[in-house]
Structures are given as C-alpha cells and as structure tokens.
C-alpha cells in the first residue's frame, strides 16, 4: 500500500509528464508563433521608437514617431479611408455572395459549372484584375463607360474623381472576392440540417421566414469567421489601391497599408512606418475583439 506522500509524488510525476508531453507537441507551433508573430510584433514596437535602422543604424527618438502619427492628417485620412472602404466592401460582398450562394444552393443541375464561373475572378491575381478594370473603367473606351454614355450621355471618371475612386476600388475588390465568399456561404448552407427545413415547411414557414429565422441564425458560426476574416483582410487593403490609383486622386484612396509602404520604401522612414503598422495591428485586434465579443454575446 502506497503512502499519501507516495501518492502525491506519483500524481506530481504524472502531471509533469503530461505537461511535458503537451509542451513537446505544442513546441513547434509555439516556436513558429514566437518566431513569426511575437518577435516581429515586438521588433515593430521597438522600431517605432527609433529612426533609421534599415540603411543606416537605428537611432532612438523616443515618442517622436508616435507624436507624428497622431499629428499627421494623412494618418487620420488613411485610417478613415480604410474603415470606409471596409464598410463599403464587406457588407456588399457578403450580400451578393449570400444571394449567389442561395441561388446556387437551389440549383439542382449544373451547379459545378456556375460555381466555377463565380469563383473564377477570385483566381485572378490582383494585378491582372486591376489592369483589366483599368480597361473596363476607362473614360473613353471602357465598357462600363460605354454603357454609362448610352444611359446618361456622359462618361464617368471612375478613378479620377476623388469621391468615386474609393467606391470604385471597393467594387473591384467585391468583384474579385465574391467567388470566395459565395463558396464559403454555400458550404455553410449545405451543412445545415435538411430535416429542420422540411419541418418548417410542413409548419407553413415561407422562404423569407425560413431564411431570416433559420438560415441566418444557423449560419452564425460561418458569419463569425467571415466577419473576422474579412475585417482582417480588408483593413490591409493595398494592392488594388497601389495599382489602380496609387492613393490618388488627391489622397482620396490613401489607405493605412499604402501609407506604411510609402513611409517604409519611398520616404525611407522605417520608424514612422513601423509605428503606423503597429497602429494598424492594434486597430485590427480591436475590431476583431469587438466582433468576437458581439458574436459570443448572442450565442
């Protein structure tokens, strides 16, 4: 018979062994996280208190970069544009994708063909998509402007008009992203229990009622992932801005990531760029936390 002391010792030993095994399995992932996430974020934070550091030795400048960040009107504008763009692009792409997913879900024949067609724009590299849209939107010979001329008589300066440029970029991104979100929502829809729908139908629930009272609530986990993922991706909008407008006209499409790029690579201000990057990281974390909280509350 083992003594109490012996029991405790064996329990501790078993606990240690279990913990060590767990840590051993977690170690690769932890190392990866530390190396590629924690360390870069920490470096970024440290860099935000320095000037130089890329081509010349880093020089400690205290809170200067942070002071500039809060005083620079272009920072405020870039954050506002980024949020505005996200507010335009995310709900629009979700609404269109959901409509397409519902339509695809009800198609019995040839669904794969339609899926492929809808997903096709997502496969295009953004460079190709953006260049294609420069021809679609061109004031003189763009197909969209040919249509606009036929309807309203005047061409529209989509990318050259300061109030239209950002919505136009959102339109391009929606076109490119709609295939991905459609298939994601379609997968969600196809995973819903059929029995519930049959029962609801037997109880006399119409299509609209079934959609709002069953489909949407049941898709909440899909929506949670979608909102968080879309927010993270869209807050980092850069490539289409860079290719289509380069932040213009008159800074109307300047986004945070574009300004980070300019600060780092054009103006050779790595400290300021790092500070902006950190602001963006905080913004993304904040919005993700809010979304997580909101979705958890309602579950």
Partner 1 sequence: MTDLTRRRFMQHGSAVALSAAGLAAGLSARTALASGHVSGDITMIKGPHSADEARFEAMIIDDFKAVEPGVNVTFTTYDWANMNAELTTGFASGNPSDVLYLVDLIYPNYAQQGALHDMTALVGAEDWSSERAQIPEFAWDLARLDGGTWGVPVLGAVYNIYVNKDLLSAAGVLDTWNRSYADMMDAARKTTSDGVYGFSVRARTGDFAFWDWLPYVHNAGADLLSEDWSECGLRGAEDATQFLIDMHQAGVTPPIGAMSTQEQFDLFKAGKIAIHHGETPQIAALMADPPAFEWDVAYAPPGETAQTVMGNFGILSIAEASPNKEAAWEFIKHWASGPQVGRFAEQVNLQVVREDIVDGMFDGNPAMQKIQQEFVPRVVGIQPHPQILKILQSIWPVAEQAYRGEFTGQETIDQMCDIINQIIA
Q: Does 283 bind partner 1 (CB under 8 A)?
A: no
Query: What's the N-to-C CA distance of the chain in angstroms?
Result: 50
CB 174 within 8 A of CB 230: no
Q: What Cα–Cα distance (Å) separates residue 171 from each residue in 47, 119, 167, 175, 180?
A: 36, 16, 6, 6, 15
Q: Closest CB to partner 1 among 54 and 233?
A: 54
Residue of 97, 262, 274, 275 interacting with partner 1 (CB under 8 A): 262
Q: Does 268 bind partner 1 (CB under 8 A)?
A: yes
Q: Closest CB to partner 1 among 100 and 172?
A: 172
Element (H, E) at 246: none
Q: Does 149 bind partner 1 (CB under 8 A)?
A: no
Could you give the CA distance from residue 89 to residue 175 in angstroms, rounded to a whole number? 10
Sign of CA dihedral 199, 205, 209, 211: positive
The minimum distance between CB 251 and partner 1, in angstroms, equals: 4
The minimum distance between CB 40 and partner 1, in angstroms, equals: 15
Strands (E), the chain: 50-51, 59-60
CB 90 within 8 A of CB 231: yes
The minimum distance between CB 154 and partner 1, in angstroms, equals: 10
- The mark string for 201-240 relative to partner 1 (x by CB under 8 A, - otherwise) is ----------------------------------------
Stretch that binds partner 1, among 26-34, 166-174, 193-201, 266-274 (CB under 8 A): 266-274
The minimum distance between CB 241 and partner 1, in angstroms, equals: 11
Cα 197 to its chain centre, rounded Å, is: 32
- The mark string for 61-80 relative to partner 1 (x by CB under 8 A, - otherwise) is -------------x------
Q: How many residues does the chain have?
A: 299
Q: Does 43 bind partner 1 (CB under 8 A)?
A: no
Q: From the CB of residue 41, how many other CB atoms can be counted at a distance below 10 Å?
A: 13
Q: What DSSP line would sit under 41-80, residue for residue?
A: HHHHHHHTTEE--SSS--EE-TTHHHHHHHH-HHHHHHHH
The minimum distance between CB 148 and partner 1, in angstroms, equals: 13
Residue of 40, 44, 45, 54 interacting with partner 1 (CB under 8 A): 54
Q: Which residues bind partner 1 (CB under 8 A)?
A: 52, 54-56, 74, 139, 157, 159-162, 245-251, 261-262, 264-268
């Amino acid at each position: 018979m083992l003594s109490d002391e012996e029991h405790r010792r064996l329990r501790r030993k078993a606990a240690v062994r279990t913990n060590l095994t767990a840590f051993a399995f977690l170690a690769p992932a932890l190392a990866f996280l530390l190396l590629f996430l924690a360390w870069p974020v920490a470096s970024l934070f440290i860099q935000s208190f320095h000037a130089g550091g890329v081509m010349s030795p880093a020089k400690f400048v205290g809170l200067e970069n942070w002071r500039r960040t809060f005083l620079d009107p272009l920072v405020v504008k870039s954050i506002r544009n980024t949020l505005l763009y996200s507010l335009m692009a995310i709900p629009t792409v979700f609404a269109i994708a959901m409509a397409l997913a519902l339509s695809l879900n009800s198609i019995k024949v040839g669904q794969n063909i339609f899926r492929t067609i809808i997903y096709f724009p997502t496969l295009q590299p953004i460079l190709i998509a953006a260049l294609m849209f420069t021809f679609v939107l061109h004031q003189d010979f763009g197909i969209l402007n040919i249509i606009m001329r036929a309807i309203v008589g005047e061409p529209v300066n989509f990318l050259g008009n300061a109030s239209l440029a950002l919505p136009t970029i959102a339109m391009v991104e929606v076109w490119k992203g709609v295939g991905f979100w459609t298939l994601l929502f379609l997968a969600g829809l196809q995973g819903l229990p059929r029995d519930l729908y049959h029962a609801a139908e037997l109880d006399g629930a119409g299509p609209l009622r079934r959609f709002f009272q069953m489909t949407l609530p049941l898709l909440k986990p899909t929506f949670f992932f979608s909102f968080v993922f879309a927010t993270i991706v869209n807050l980092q909008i850069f490539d289409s801005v860079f290719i289509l407008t380069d932040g213009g006209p008159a800074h109307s499409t300047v986004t945070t990531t574009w300004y980070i790029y300019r600060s780092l690579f054009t103006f050779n201000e790595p400290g300021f760029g790092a500070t902006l990057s950190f602001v963006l990281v905080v913004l993304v974390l904040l919005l993700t936390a809010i979304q997580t909280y909101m979705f958890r509350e309602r579950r």
